[in-house]
């Protein structure tokens, strides 16, 4: 079974086919959407998109980690991560297909 990812290019193509916008306009829409989400996540802690899900930034503390290959201990710096939680509606759509 061949794995196929849904890429940004596929998303642009879907907008082009379904909504009838040009490929340049579709590309601009996708780029602007991701730019807005990224920018707002850097300011806000949480973005909720109804019937899709929630993007949330979490602070990870500094910790000690270990490289599984060579077993060397290393310090992992503190950082922010993005967590996505799917909405109940999205989960229901995925499980009914």
The model's pLDDT over 22-38, given as tens digits with 9 standing for 90+, comes to 999 999 999 999 999 99
| Per-position DSSP letters for 40-79, written without gaps between them | HHHHSSEEEETTTEEEEEEEEPPEEEE-TTT--EEEEPPE
Tell me the average pLDDT across 41-68: 94
| pTM of the complete model | 0.75
Which sequence spans correspond to the domains of the chain? 8-95
Q: What is the pLDDT of residue 6?
A: 92
CA 56/CA 15 separation, integer angstroms = 26
Q: What is the pLDDT of residue 65?
A: 93
Q: What is the pLDDT of residue 1?
A: 59
The model's pLDDT over 63-78, given as tens digits with 9 standing for 90+, comes to 999 999 998 999 999 9
What is the fold of 8-95?
HU Protein; Chain A (4.10.520)
């Amino acid at each position: 079974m061949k794995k196929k990812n849904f890429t940004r290019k596929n998303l642009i193509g879907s907008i082009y086919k379904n909504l009838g916008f040009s490929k340049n306009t579709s590309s601009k829409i996708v780029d602007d959407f991701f730019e807005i989400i990224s920018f707002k996540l850097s300011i806000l802690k949480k973005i909720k998109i109804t019937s899709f899900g929630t993007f949330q930034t979490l602070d990870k503390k500094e910790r000690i980690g270990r490289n599984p290959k060579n077993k060397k201990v290393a310090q992992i710096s503190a950082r922010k991560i993005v967590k996505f939680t799917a909405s109940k509606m999205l989960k229901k759509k995925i499980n009914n297909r």
